[in-house]
Amino acid sequence: MPRPVILTVDDDPAVSRAVARDLRREYGEHHRIVRAESGPTALEALREIALRGEQVAVILADQRMPRMTGVEFLEQAMDLFPRARRVLLTAYADTDAAITAINVVDLDHYLLKPWDPPEEKLYPVVDSLLAAWRESSDRPSATIRIVGNRWSARSYELRDLAARNQLSYDFFRADEPDGARLLEAAGADPDVLPVVIAEDGRTLVQPTDAQVAEAAGLATTASEDVYDLVVVGGGPAGLGASVYGGSEGLRTVLVESRATGGQAGTSSRIENYLGFPNGVSGDQLTTRARLQAEKFGTEVLTTRTVTALEPKGRARVVRFDDGSEITAHAVVLATGVSYRMLECPGLDDHTGQGVFYGAAATEAASCAAQDVYVVGGANSAGQAAMNFSRHAARVIMLVRGPSLTASMSHYLIEQIEANPRIEVRTCTEVCGADGTDHLEKLTLRDRNTGAEETVEASWLFVFIGAAPRTDWLDGVVARDGRGFVLTGPDLPRDENGRAPAGWEPDRDPFHLETSVPGVFAVGDVRADSVKRVASAVGEGAMAVSLVHRWLENR
């Protein structure tokens, strides 16, 4: 295998040589160091590397170059090597430009010049970027081929499932020659789609999520019958509990119904998570957390939905929809919240066919040079609008309220205002949708005047708040009126001020403990939680220390 490339570009020959020398000294054995002295020559080098089928792991570019700035270069480099990690070299005075650039080229890091000594300032950065690159490229997953119709909702779901689980996949349209050839070779009926062809040649017709996950090499069934801890939900809270559970010696299994990462995994850039001054993509953060949990021995099951919880004496049993179950000494509920559906005539018919809930990252590139409508006025909608603006001709944000200020962070409003491709339409709501096999038209209503307007639209992304899906806990753990799980001091008390009905232990519930002893709730699903990545992770970690107390004294 050829060594992966680390490329550095700086127009100052002395600096360019110095960076290359430092990189070669530390990384030369396992990487090929390529240096260039201008953006265009560096792009030329990248094209040649791509032609030879080699890989690029890290690109370091100086910002102030005469013919092409570092950001302009990185923007084009991303098209050639989207997974390469990107670093901008800036002088002290350029840090503002660098921070702004983070949003344009999804920068991983910026380094202030000079970086002496490299052992302290350069190598730790490159080390962590190389590790992140390896994680994203070396996932042990087989390539699966999905053949389906362009606008089929189920085909979209399978692409989304594969993308969110970092599975390597190719999508073929059944009505195009390559897709038709694949179906014929697999002996599959082109009228019964989608079809998934696994790397070992197995053909799965209209498969379930779990069948696709299995075919791609993900674990979907538990290896043991009994665990110390079952964590339900693989967002930041569940991953936090899994990392701490595993690292503290608990036999831990994490059960996730779709893809680890949860809502955070769909965020294009989390700006406020501690320790990431340049922001971090939710996918990167949570993929690393999953690997960290697995490193500590936590078993991760994907595409498995927990549908029931039953306390059985001292044991806690969780059940799946196929009737199988896992028994544990303790349970952490970390099931978060799900997007609320937008109610209006015609919209349901097009879910997954132009209408999407959440960021639907797999669709971003397909929106190239088209109009994209984004519904919602909170940070999630703002982040998505910024992300789509990199591909779309125009992003039109539809906001019910009179402005964004009440619902969106100031920094994001500034980015949106400065983005010429984003238009914000306030006091506007969607009141109708129409199309044949996919979305073609939207009807918009001005909330002040009641005036309606029909616009041509193929893409609508909805971000209108979220609600917990906890019906399966009904009658087992106490929840508030909106379905959020009550814990610790929020639990209803009996007439003596002690909690709660049916509570047996001779102590009050722990802080994150539900009305069932030994069952804890963390993150967004917990009543009155903060709805932030950091707090979700923190609660996951804290729950594990409470699990230890429960195990010691039960």
Q: Which of 39, 148, 179, 234 binds ligand FAD (CB under 6 A)?
A: 234
Of 205 and 530, which has the nearer Cβ to ligand FAD? 530
Q: Which residues pair with 205 in a beta bridge?
A: 195
380 contacts ligand FAD (rule: CB under 6 A) = yes
122 contacts ligand FAD (rule: CB under 6 A) = no
528/117 Cα distance (integer angstroms): 47
Of 197 and 378, which has the nearer Cβ to ligand FAD? 378
87/144 Cα distance (integer angstroms): 32
Of 203 and 514, which has the nearer Cβ to ligand FAD? 514
287: helix, strand or coil: helix
Q: 219, 221, 215, 180: which is closest to 201 by C-alpha?
A: 215
Q: What is the phi/psi pair of residue 16, to 5°?
A: -55, -45
Smallest distance, ligand FAD to C-beta of residue 356, A = 12
Smallest distance, ligand FAD to C-beta of residue 529, A = 7
50/227 Cα distance (integer angstroms): 47
Of 273 and 296, which has the nearer Cβ to ligand FAD? 273
Q: 475, 503, 467: which is closest to 488 by C-alpha?
A: 503
Smallest distance, ligand FAD to C-beta of residue 201, A = 30
Of 380 and 389, which has the nearer Cβ to ligand FAD? 380
204 contacts ligand FAD (rule: CB under 6 A) = no
> Strand 169-173 and strand 144-148: pairing?
parallel
Smallest distance, ligand FAD to C-beta of residue 233, A = 3
Smallest distance, ligand FAD to C-beta of residue 133, A = 23
For ligand FAD, what does the binding mask look like between residues 316 and 355, x meaning CB under 6 A?
------------------xxxx------------------
Cβ neighbourhood burial of 278 (10 Å; 0-12, 13-18, 19+):
middle
258 contacts ligand FAD (rule: CB under 6 A) = yes
In order of 45, 268, 463, the CA distances from 405 in angstroms are 45, 21, 16
Contact 211, 204 (CB under 8 A): yes
Smallest distance, ligand FAD to C-beta of residue 423, A = 20
Longest alpha-carbon distance in the chain: 79
Which residues inside 490-529 make contact with ligand FAD, applying CB under 6 A?
A: 523-525
Which residues inside 57-76 make contact with ligand FAD, applying CB under 6 A?
A: none
264 contacts ligand FAD (rule: CB under 6 A) = yes
Q: Which of 236, 352, 354, 435 binds ligand FAD (CB under 6 A)?
A: 236
161/163 Cα distance (integer angstroms): 6
* Residues contacting 201, CB < 8 A, separation 6+: none
Q: Which long-range contacts (CB under 8 A, 24 or more apart) does 26-33 make?
A: 26/118, 26/123, 26/126, 27/126, 27/130, 30/3, 30/4, 31/3, 31/4, 31/5, 31/6, 31/57, 31/130, 32/2, 32/3, 32/4, 32/5, 32/6, 33/5, 33/6, 33/7, 33/8
Smallest distance, ligand FAD to C-beta of residue 355, A = 17
Q: Which of 122, 188, 270, 527 binds ligand FAD (CB under 6 A)?
A: 270
Smallest distance, ligand FAD to C-beta of residue 283, A = 11
One-letter amino acid at 77 equals A
Q: Which of 533, 544, 546, 547 binds ligand FAD (CB under 6 A)?
A: 533
Q: Which of 237, 361, 392, 543 binds ligand FAD (CB under 6 A)?
A: 237
Contact 333, 232 (CB under 8 A): yes
> Strand 203-205 and strand 195-197: pairing?
antiparallel
Q: Using CB under 6 A, which of the segments 90-98, 251-259, 451-459, 496-504 binds ligand FAD?
A: 251-259
Q: Using CB under 6 A, which of the segments 56-64, 82-90, 257-265, 498-506 binds ligand FAD?
A: 257-265
- Give how many residues touch ligand FAD by CB under 6 A: 38
In order of 305, 383, 457, 461, the CA distances from 395 in angstroms are 35, 12, 11, 10
393/416 Cα distance (integer angstroms): 15
Q: Which of 359, 413, 433, 499 binds ligand FAD (CB under 6 A)?
A: 359
Smallest distance, ligand FAD to C-beta of residue 386, A = 11
Q: Using CB under 6 A, which of the segments 42-50, 93-101, 131-139, 532-540 binds ligand FAD?
A: 532-540
Q: 495, 491, 471: which is closest to 483 by C-alpha?
A: 471
Of 272 and 553, which has the nearer Cβ to ligand FAD? 272
Q: Which residues bind ligand FAD (CB under 6 A)?
A: 232-238, 255-258, 262-264, 266-267, 270-272, 305-306, 334-337, 359, 379-380, 383, 469, 523-525, 531-534, 536
